[in-house]
């Protein structure tokens, strides 16, 4: 890094403790009663853009299932256009460096990048995917623990405007949700990964867990991938939600609810044991 490169903001332990205290005082508990007459859930399907057929199957899922598209991939524009035509929310699935340096593909954010490089990459990725309403992170277990890099990302998103951020929460140490809010970007954090274990039984278990969380707190957010088991379970279960008194809503609605009922910092109300089963994030 050259002498003219801006340095990452330093965050001390005292600062983090102070943030925790302020949010615990000012933020209403997440489980406080939401202004809803029935529970609601939202679902994001990640990793779209590399293959056409699985992307089409995701777009064809019933209801407002959001489509998160990887930037600068072969079918990113095609699938974003298709999702938009079907009334789906389109999210930029922003590649961010993982602890194990898993391959990110084009448009990735890494820890070695300068502020200007991060800003340029975010702008290029946003421009590469049409119809965006929001952003969520692809991988990112390393970047999502670094407040300086996150601040540069969120400041860029704020300057672009009209985008929300979903913390995919690929590590329990992620502070992406908090940094987004601190920089004026509406934000939410996912509750459940549907398919860390890629079998119909495991996906069904996590789907049931999503509904349980929604019944407890009024709303919940899940992330899945365009895998056969995931797509099959969702195609079968989503049409049954209304008969169970639960509504599938756009991700933007969950963002509003989490804005009104902030997540306690830094820990989740709901443990996320599926993280320990994952090969990488």
How confident is the model over 83-99, as pLDDT tens digits? 999 999 999 999 999 99
Instruction: Delimit the domains of the chain by residue range.
Output: 37-267
Phi, psi of 122 (to 5 degrees): -65, -45
pLDDT in tens, 10-59: 444 334 444 443 443 333 333 343 456 899 999 999 999 999 999 999 99
Q: What is the predicted pLDDT for the residue at 27?
A: 36
CA-to-CA distance for 17 and 20, rounded, in angstroms?
A: 5
Average pLDDT, the chain: 86
Residue 186, by phi and psi: left (phi above 0), alpha (psi -120 to 50) or beta?
Answer: beta
**CATH class entry, domain 37-267:** alpha beta
Residue with the bigger pLDDT between 191 and 28: it is: 191
pLDDT for res 263: 66
177 pLDDT band, cuts 50/70/90, is very high
pTM to 2 decimals?
0.82
pLDDT score of 2 more than 60: no
pLDDT at position 103 is: 85
**Over residues 106-134, mean pLDDT:** 98
pLDDT of residue 37: 84
């Amino acid at each position: 890094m050259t002498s003219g490169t801006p340095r990452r903001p330093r965050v001390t332990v005292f600062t983090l403790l102070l943030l925790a205290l302020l949010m615990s005082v000012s933020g209403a508990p997440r489980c406080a009663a939401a202004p809803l007459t029935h529970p609601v859930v939202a679902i994001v399907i990640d990793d779209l853009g590399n293959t056409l057929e699985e992307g089409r199957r995701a777009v064809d899922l019933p209801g407002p299932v959001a489509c998160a598209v990887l930037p600068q991939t072969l079918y990113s524009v095609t699938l974003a256009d298709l999702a938009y035509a079907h009334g789906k929310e389109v999210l930029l699935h922003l590649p961010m460096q993982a602890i194990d340096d898993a391959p990110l593909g084009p448009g990735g954010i890494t820890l070695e990048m300068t502020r200007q490089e991060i800003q340029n990459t975010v702008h290029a990725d946003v421009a590469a995917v049409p119809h965006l309403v929001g952003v969520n992170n692809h991988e990112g277990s390393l970047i999502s623990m670094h407040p300086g890099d996150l601040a540069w990302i969120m400041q860029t998103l704020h300057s672009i405007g009209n985008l929300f951020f979903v913390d995919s929460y690929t590590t329990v140490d992620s502070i992406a949700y908090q940094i987004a809010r601190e920089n004026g970007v509406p934000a939410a954090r996912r509750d459940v990964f549907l398919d860390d274990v890629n079998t119909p039984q495991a996906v069904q278990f996590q789907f049931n867990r999503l509904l349980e969380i929604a019944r407890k707190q009024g709303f919940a957010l899940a992330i899945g991938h365009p895998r056969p088991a995931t797509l099959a379970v969702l195609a079968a279960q989503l049409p049954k939600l209304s008969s169970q008194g639960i509504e599938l809503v756009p991700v933007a609605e969950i963002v509003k609810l989490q804005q009104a009922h902030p997540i306690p910092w830094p820990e989740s109300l709901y443990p996320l044991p599926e993280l320990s089963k994952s090969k990488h994030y």
